[in-house]
């Protein structure tokens, strides 16, 4: 008697523990979504959660943004958008997702370490989602009257920020520790003696004399084309809070314990 292969497969599947079946099913679904994303958008993980207010009001904290991989598209800068009428998220020019200083993005274990208060690896960073203002060649001033670009790349800026990323490190220079207590809603601890200013995108470092030094996310450095991960296309409000809740809960617990 010939067995029915589909029926035999079904029997073997039913013998697996429920938890194992769930894990396999979820892995298969995630794998299919990633494969479709790679084929259609040129990127394995096309959705990112907005973590700071630097792009308000066009992108807000908690928004999920769909990104098209740079292999499937090109970047239209704000300068080009003003001339052609190309708009993205209510303003001329594309919003890009890029790796600051070319650093690799944080992985799952890095995120878990951050929640536990561990110092993040120096060679990794959270990708930045800001608008591409213009493209400069090597030797051209990065802004009017500014220093020459060390290499070709994009000049970028958060829509809500006052200055471009490439000169953001000049905002503080040196600041007093009181800045941390004066801006509790926008300061996020990211390691021992390090804080992220969500408003400006700067990382603040405590130095020996108890003052703070501000370092920008792309200070004096254009964004090389190979650092660009993709171009933001659509957003879904609020869904990203599911991704951000663990970090928010961790920071709340740290504040409560610290205040006690």
Cα 174 off chain centre by = 26
Q: Is residue 32 part of a domain?
A: no
Number of domains in the chain: 1
- The per-residue pLDDT for range 91-142, each reduced to its tens digit, is 999 999 999 888 887 766 665 665 555 656 667 788 999 999 999 999 999 9
Q: Which residues pair with 205 in a beta bridge?
A: 194, 213
Q: Is residue 11 part of a domain?
A: no
pTM over 0.85: no
d(CA 20, CA 228): 38
Q: Is residue 71 part of a domain?
A: yes
Q: Is residue 198 part of a domain?
A: no
Task: List the domain range (segments joined by +) for residue 121.
Answer: 46-162+221-259
Mean pLDDT of 183-207: 73
- The per-residue pLDDT for range 144-181, each reduced to its tens digit, is 998 899 899 999 999 998 889 998 765 444 556 777 78
pLDDT confidence bin for 45, thresholds 50/70/90: low
Q: Is residue 209 part of a domain?
A: no
Q: Is residue 16 part of a domain?
A: no
Q: Is residue 134 part of a domain?
A: yes
The CATH number assigned to the domain holding 155 equals: 2.10.109.10
Q: Is residue 193 part of a domain?
A: no
Q: 66-90 burial by CB neighbour count: b if 16+ within 10 A, else e? A: bbbbbeeeebbbbebbeeeeeebbe
């Amino acid at each position: 008697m010939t067995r029915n292969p589909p029926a035999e497969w079904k029997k073997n599947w039913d013998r697996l523990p429920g938890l194992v079946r769930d894990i396999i099913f979820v892995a298969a679904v995630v794998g299919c979504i990633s494969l479709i994303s790679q084929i259609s958008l040129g990127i394995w993980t096309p959705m990112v959660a907005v973590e700071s207010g630097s792009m308000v009001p066009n992108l807000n904290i908690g928004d999920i943004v769909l990104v098209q991989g740079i292999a499937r598209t090109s970047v239209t800068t704000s300068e080009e958008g003003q001339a052609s009428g190309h708009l993205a998220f209510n303003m001329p020019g594309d919003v890009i997702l890029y790796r600051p200083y070319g650093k690799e993005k944080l992985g799952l274990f890095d995120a878990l370490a951050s929640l536990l208060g561990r110092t993040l690896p120096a060679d990794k960073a959270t990708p930045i989602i800001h608008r591409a203002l213009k493209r400069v060649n090597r030797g051209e001033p990065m802004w009017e009257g500014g220093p020459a670009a060390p290499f070709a790349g994009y000049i970028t800026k958060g829509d809500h920020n006052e200055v471009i990323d490439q000169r953001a490190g000049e905002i503080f220079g040196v600041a007093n520790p009181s800045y941390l207590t004066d801006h509790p809603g926008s300061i996020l601890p990211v390691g021992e003696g390090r804080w992220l200013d969500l408003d400006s995108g700067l990382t603040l470092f405590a130095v020996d004399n108890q003052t703070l030094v501000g370092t920008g996310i792309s200070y004096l450095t254009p964004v090389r084309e190979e650092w660009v991960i993709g171009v933001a296309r659509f957003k879904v409000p609020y869904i990203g809070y599911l991704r951000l809740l663990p970090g928010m809960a961790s920071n709340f617990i740290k504040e409560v314990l610290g205040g006690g």
